[in-house]
């Protein structure tokens, strides 16, 4: 059993800033399907904001979006040969970004994820700049003080 002094703060005391993964890396909207796939694999991430020509957030691309595109490509072909249709991040992304403030309490983070039916929430600083992302796994890690 862990020493009580080594346990993380109570979940109720945490904020989005405590839960988020910082150093968010974005995908340009013109990123191709193969480039997006390599991006997720190389960085071991499952979601990324998509940005426009001026660096403004325009949507979210996830591994699930890529898988949906592969399935749709297979359905069009009708064979077992995988011929993924050319596509860009802009075509494949979800054009809605679910974001919260860095000072949002953890309980509200959970409520927002459940209400919005999303697995990730992006975190904005006081100026509205995207500074991190919280996944459902990030929440689970904080609930379990183990080193797993």
13-72 per-position pLDDT tens digit = 889 999 999 888 999 999 999 999 999 999 999 999 999 999 999 999 999 999 999 988
Q: How confident is the model at residue 143, as a pLDDT?
A: 74
pTM, full prediction: 0.82
Which are the contacts of 38, defined by CB distance < 8 A and separation ≥ 6?
Answer: none
DSSP conformation class of 65: H
Tell me how crowded residue 105 is: count the other CB atoms within 10 A of its CB.
16
Q: Which domains does the chain have, with CATH numbers?
A: 13-143 (3.10.580.10)
Tell me if 117 sits within 8 A of 125, measured CB to CB. no
Q: Which helix (H) or strand (E) holds 137?
A: helix 136-143
């Amino acid at each position: 059993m862990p020493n009580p002094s080594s346990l993380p703060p109570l979940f109720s005391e945490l904020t989005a800033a405590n839960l988020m993964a910082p150093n968010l890396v974005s995908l340009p909207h013109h990123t191709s399907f193969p480039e997006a796939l390599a991006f997720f694999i190389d960085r071991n991430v499952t979601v990324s904001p998509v940005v426009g020509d001026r660096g403004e957030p325009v949507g979210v691309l996830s591994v699930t979006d890529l898988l949906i595109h592969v399935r749709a490509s297979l359905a069009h072909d009708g064979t077992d040969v995988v011929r993924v249709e050319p596509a860009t991040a802009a075509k494949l992304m979800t054009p809605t970004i679910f974001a919260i403030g860095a000072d949002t309490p953890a309980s509200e983070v959970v409520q927002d994820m459940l209400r919005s039916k999303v697995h990730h929430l992006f975190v904005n600083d006081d100026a509205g700049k995207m500074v991190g992302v919280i996944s459902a796994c990030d929440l689970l890690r904080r609930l379990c003080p183990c080193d797993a």
